[in-house]
Structure 1
Amino acid sequence: MFATRQRSRRALVCAAMIAGLAMAQGTGAGVTTADPPVEATVESTAQALADAITAGLTPAADGRQPKAIVDTGSGSGWAKSTSSAAVGEGPEMTAALAAFAYGLTHPDAAPPGANRWDCKPSAAHPNPVVLLHGTWLNAYDTFAYMSPRLARAGYCVFAFNFGRSGLMEGGGLGAVLPGRFGVGPMEESSRQLAEFVEQVRAATGSEKIDIVGHSQGGTVANRYLKFDGGEGKVGKLVTFGATHHGTSLMGMATLGRAINNLGINILGFYEPLVGLANIQQAVGSPFYAALNANGDTIPGVAYTAVGSRYDEVTNPYDWTFLRPGPDATVDNITLQAGCEQDVSDHLTMMYSPRSTSIALRALDPAAPAELACTFNPWLIGGGGSF
């Protein structure tokens, strides 16, 4: 019994680490200029990722050597995903790890303060705020800290779970854990966002919305703005550790190594599958070549991109920053600038008081200019408070 409890605790901690590593996949450096066939590029990227994962795997307890495998399906269009609004507000959390644990047992919970569909925007805050989670996360465990603070500041806040996909639908290994969303094709997630935005606009009567996105959520928002009808409907986009330019294969490989080397044998075998969303987020993928072909931004949107020096996935962290194009403003912010005691990593930046104050200021430039500055530890978050 003791051994079982030990394995369970280790699985929970590792799961949180996996989320912190994988949910962002945000360490790319830009688009490629090569133009190989899409299918060949996807296959070569997937195999390179599998090889990178395999290179760092240690033998299992029974002596077998783990090996990453590629399962990219047969033909285009095989991968699919769905989305759903988060329902039933979960409790407010100050610690990322505690929120992750709650999200495992309540995968469809709404973050506190969100999805109050009778909320009517005020004159001071006319744009509802849509929250977008990252890879292998959900609306609750990403925004259980920030969402209620936005609501108390007078915003109508809305959140949903996008990219819900199973193991056999291209979601990869992470889809086996409860509440691990944001794993489906990002093109589909973008279209799901488009549908959700229309629901929010209809319910609130607002012409425009603002978006706060973490990790892949920032990328999905960018895709929506550029290709799926978002232009003219979004006033501000605020991102934290976003995967605007992809991630390196080595950063993604950390995911598979964490699963195997820390002893999580979720599926009963030792071969981690490479999910499609992870393949898409590799730097230089066809997805990013299309996404950023005409620049990082679109006209008429105010962008704020936040990165942390302690982000173990988006590394170098400034790969999350954006280059402004015509008629767009960009504020690239290093989380530790002026606050060295905030040591938030990729996961815990969403539980940083400083991040919340940055979001509030970005959404409303008339908000107090002074930003919060507190110690915010790696993995736990929320000033170390549970």
Structure 2
Amino acid sequence: MAGAAAALTMLCAPAEAAPAHEIGGSGSASDGAAKVPDGSVSPAGANDWSCPPTAAHPRPVVLVHGTWGNQNDWNVLAPQLKAEGYCVFSLNFGRDTGSVMGAKPGVYGTGDIRASAGELAAFTERVRDATGSAKVDLVAHSQGALVARQYLRFEGGAAEVGSLVSLAGTNHGTTMNGLASLLPPGGSSGPAADLAATYVGTAAVQQLVGSDVVRTINAGGDTEPGIAYTVVATRLDKASTPPEATFLQAGPGATVDNIWVHDVCPTDTFDHGPLPQSPTIAYLVQRALDPAHTGISCPQH
């Protein structure tokens, strides 16, 4: 069991540590090394609590990061959305210092997904109060999609959200590129899973395929009535695997648009961690929020 926990830890490390270390735009050089944004400062364009929603974009946009990340994972997308006239908000959630990764500065998204959904609910309520908006739109990356769906189903979010854009979300759990099979069936519980959680955090283990959290969120269907879902996957994903497991099936009263990044831009090479930085993602997010949006710019490599 210790070997399984070590393998899971090794795979998790590149899976979502990348955003906190690779998102550009807010770091500065010090002693020859780039400073890692620690989430203490909002992304440019985000968290202007006096922002008035417009008739063109009446719903504020709340950005929900993934495992081991923080609000600076949105340093690229947040100012782009702000420039398009959206009121943009971002939060840090899931700070749990009880694991090796969770104790690191600036690392969030390690705590219990159910508790994180409560944090998202409280933050969204604050956004709605500040803007006077009845509903918000959510844009969520990786674990953030599960947190958002937990909020929609169990924290009253279905009445407070117009749309959810899921980017490489672990919506049906992840096999972690096959290493999850090293844990016992239902591998979010038991000694091996507990050991893994002491390294990677509770939320990482809760995202394994077949976990209690994943099963509970998906019980009774993937969607909530009245919500428009846009679900984006990349075939380069090595963290949310198999990549197509992110896709959702529409239930009564909901709409779902499942999209492969490479069907839109075949040249896009952004994988799981840095996906929120992709120009393709910027286009797909804005199109999801406003179907009239045009101006796609595929990455050139």
TM-score by length of 1: 0.66
What secondary structure, in the 3-state scheme, does the structure 2 residue paired with 1:336 have?
A: helix
Matched, 1:184 2:136: no
Question: Match of 1:148?
Answer: 79
Call closer, same or farther: CA 1:97–1:145 in 2, change over 3 Å: closer
Give the AA of the match of 1:184. Answer: G
Aligned partners of 1:96 and 1:351 also within 8 Å: no
In 1, distance between residues paired with 2:288 and 2:22?
A: 23
Question: Match of 1:289?
Answer: 215
Aligned partners of 1:120 and 1:156 also within 8 Å: yes
Question: RCO greater where, 1 or 2, for CA within 8 Å and sep 6 or more?
Answer: 1
Aligned partners of 2:175 and 2:242 also within 8 Å: no
2:298 to 345, 362, 373: 373
In 1, distance between residues paired with 2:161 and 2:179?
A: 30
Question: Match of 1:197?
Answer: 124
2:166 to 239, 250, 264: 239
In 2, distance between residues paired with 1:314 and 1:337?
A: 18
Deviation at 1:203, TM superposition (A): 0.3
Question: Match of 2:247?
Answer: 321
What secondary structure, in the 3-state scheme, does the structure 1 residue paired with 2:216 have?
A: helix
What secondary structure, in the 3-state scheme, does the structure 1 residue paired with 2:116 have?
A: helix
In 2, distance between residues paired with 1:251 and 1:187?
A: 25
Question: Match of 1:22?
Answer: none
Deviation at 1:107, TM superposition (A): 3.0
Aligned partners of 1:165 and 1:183 also within 8 Å: yes
Call closer, same or farther: CA 1:232–1:342 in 2, change over 3 Å: same
Question: Match of 1:118?
Answer: 50
In 2, distance between residues paired with 1:373 and 1:299?
A: 33
Call closer, same or farther: CA 1:52–1:357 in 2, change over 3 Å: same
Aligned partners of 1:241 and 1:306 also within 8 Å: yes
Aligned residue pairs, count: 270
- Matches for 1:315-354 after TM superposition, within 5 Å: 315-354=241-280
In 2, distance between residues paired with 1:287 and 1:220?
A: 10
1:303 to 229, 239, 260: 229
Question: Match of 1:130?
Answer: 62
Aligned partners of 1:341 and 1:375 also within 8 Å: yes
What secondary structure, in the 3-state scheme, does the structure 1 residue paired with 2:272 have?
A: coil
Deviation at 1:281, TM superposition (A): 1.2
Deviation at 1:51, TM superposition (A): 3.3
In 2, distance between residues paired with 1:252 and 1:200?
A: 39
Instruction: Give unpaired runs (5+ residues) of structure 1.
Output: 1-46, 59-92, 254-270, 377-386
Instruction: Give unpaired runs (5+ residues) of structure 2.
Output: 11-18, 28-33, 181-196
Matched, 1:273 2:199: yes
Aligned partners of 1:252 and 1:278 also within 8 Å: no
Call closer, same or farther: CA 1:139–1:55 in 2, change over 3 Å: closer
Q: In the TM superposition, what whole-angstrom CA distance separates every residue of 1:57-93 from its partner, at most 9, and x where no partner exists?
A: 99xxxxxxxxxxxxxxxxxxxxxxxxxxxxxxxxxx9
Question: Match of 1:14?
Answer: none
Deviation at 1:162, TM superposition (A): 0.5
Considering only aligned residues, what root-mean-square deviation do their CA atoms show, in Å? Answer: 2.4
In 1, distance between residues paired with 2:69 and 2:37?
A: 13
Deviation at 1:249, TM superposition (A): 5.1
Give the AA of the match of 2:111. Answer: G
Call closer, same or farther: CA 1:338–1:225 in 2, change over 3 Å: closer
In 1, distance between residues paired with 2:38 and 2:7?
A: 35
Question: Match of 2:4?
Answer: 52
What secondary structure, in the 3-state scheme, does the structure 2 residue paired with 1:210 have?
A: strand
State the 4+ residue runs in structure 1 displaced beyond 2 angstroms: 50-58, 95-107, 249-253, 271-275
What secondary structure, in the 3-state scheme, does the structure 2 residue paired with 1:303 have?
A: strand
Give the AA of the match of 1:348. Answer: P
Q: Identity percentage over the alignment?
A: 44
Q: In the TM superposition, what whole-angstrom CA distance separates every residue of 1:118-159 from its partner, at most 9, and x where no partner exists?
A: 00100110000000000000011x100000000000000011
Larger CA Rg, structure 1 vs 2: 1
